[in-house]
C-alpha cells in the first residue's frame, strides 16, 4: 500500500481530483446560470442559442469534448491557458486548465437545466406581480426569480456536482495526473497492486461524494422555499 502512495502519488492524484472539481464547479455554475438566463429571456435568438447549447453539450460524450479541448483547441488552434513559466510546468498546467474548461462547458448544460427546474417551482403569479410593479426582466430575475430558483434547484445542482466529481476521471484522457491515470499506471507498471489501487480509489470517491449528497439533502430541506 505504501508503494501506491509513494510510487504512484495517489494522494496527489486525489488532490488533483478535488482541484478539478472545485474550479469546474465554479465555472460551470457561472456558465450554466448565463445559459439559463438566455433560455428564460424574452429574446427569441437568445432562447434558441441557449437551447442549442444545452442540446449539443448534453448529447456529446464528455470524452470527446475533453479530447477536442486538447487536440483541437490547443493542438490545432493554439489556445494556450498557461504561461511558459507556469509553476507546475507549462504542459501540466495547460492540460489542467483545458480539462477544467471541458468539464465546465459540459456540466454547464446540466446546471442550466437544474436552474430551469428551480424556476418551474416558482408560481407564475410572482413573475407577473414583478412585471406589474414595473420591474424589468433583469430586475425580476435578480430580485424575484433567480434567488428562489437556486433554492429550488439545490437537489439537481448537488447531483450535478457529484456527477462532475466522478467525471473528473475523464481528464486522464489528456494526461492530467488524477486518479484514473493512477489506475492506468498501476495496471501498466505494477498489476499486482491493481485491486488494492481500485479499492483505495473507490473508497476515496465515496468519502468525497457521500458528504456532498448529505450536504445536498440538508440544504435542500433547510433552504426550501415555503409555499
Question: Residue 122 has what pLDDT?
Answer: 80
pLDDT beneath 50: ranges in the chain: none
How far apart CA 150 and CA 142 sit, in angstroms, is 11
How far apart CA 14 and CA 204 sit, in angstroms, is 8
Are 20 and 172 in contact by the 8 Å Cβ rule? The answer is no
Q: How many CA atoms lie within 13 A of 92 on its CB side?
A: 9
Question: Residue 223 has what pLDDT?
Answer: 78
How far apart CA 157 and CA 159 sit, in angstroms, is 5
Which domains, and CATH codes, for the chain? 14-176 (1.10.3720.10)
Dihedral sign of CA atoms 97, 100, 105, 111 in order: negative
Phi-psi region of 185 (alpha: psi -120 to 50; beta: other; left: phi over 0): alpha
Q: Is 76 exposed, middle or buried (0-12, 13-18, 19+ CB in 10 A)?
A: exposed
Question: Residue 155 has what pLDDT?
Answer: 93
CA nearest to 101, candidates 199, 174, 179 = 174
How far apart CA 203 and CA 216 sit, in angstroms, is 20
How far apart CA 15 and CA 67 sit, in angstroms, is 22
Question: Residue 167 has what pLDDT?
Answer: 95
Question: Residue 208 has what pLDDT?
Answer: 94
Please give the grid coordinates belonging to residue 211.
458528504
Amino acid at each position: 500500500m505504501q508503494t501506491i502512495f509513494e510510487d504512484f502519488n495517489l494522494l496527489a492524484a486525489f488532490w488533483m481530483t478535488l482541484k478539478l472539481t472545485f474550479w469546474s464547479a465554479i465555472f460551470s455554475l457561472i456558465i450554466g446560470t448565463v445559459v439559463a438566463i438566455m433560455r428564460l429571456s424574452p429574446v427569441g435568438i437568445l432562447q434558441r442559442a441557449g437551447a442549442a447549447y444545452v442540446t449539443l453539450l448534453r448529447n456529446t460524450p464528455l470524452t470527446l469534448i475533453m479530447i477536442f479541448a486538447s487536440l483541437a483547441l490547443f493542438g490545432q488552434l493554439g489556445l494556450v491557458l498557461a504561461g511558459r513559466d507556469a509553476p507546475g510546468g507549462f504542459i501540466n498546467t495547460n492540460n489542467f486548465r483545458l480539462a477544467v474548461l471541458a468539464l465546465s462547458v459540459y456540466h454547464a448544460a446540466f446546471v442550466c437545466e437544474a436552474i430551469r427546474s428551480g424556476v418551474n417551482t416558482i408560481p407564475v403569479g410572482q413573475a407577473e406581480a414583478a412585471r406589474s410593479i414595473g420591474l424589468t426582466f433583469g430586475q425580476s430575475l435578480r430580485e424575484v426569480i433567480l434567488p428562489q430558483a437556486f433554492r429550488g434547484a439545490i437537489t439537481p445542482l448537488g447531483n450535478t456536482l457529484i456527477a462532475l466529481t466522478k467525471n473528473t476521471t475523464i481528464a486522464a484522457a489528456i494526461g492530467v495526473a488524477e486518479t484514473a491515470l493512477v489506475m492506468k499506471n498501476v495496471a501498466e507498471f505494477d498489476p499486482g497492486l491493481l485491486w488494492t489501487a481500485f479499492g483505495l480509489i473507490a473508497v476515496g470517491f465515496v468519502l468525497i461524494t457521500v458528504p456532498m449528497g448529505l450536504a445536498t439533502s440538508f440544504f435542500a430541506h433547510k433552504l426550501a422555499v415555503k409555499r
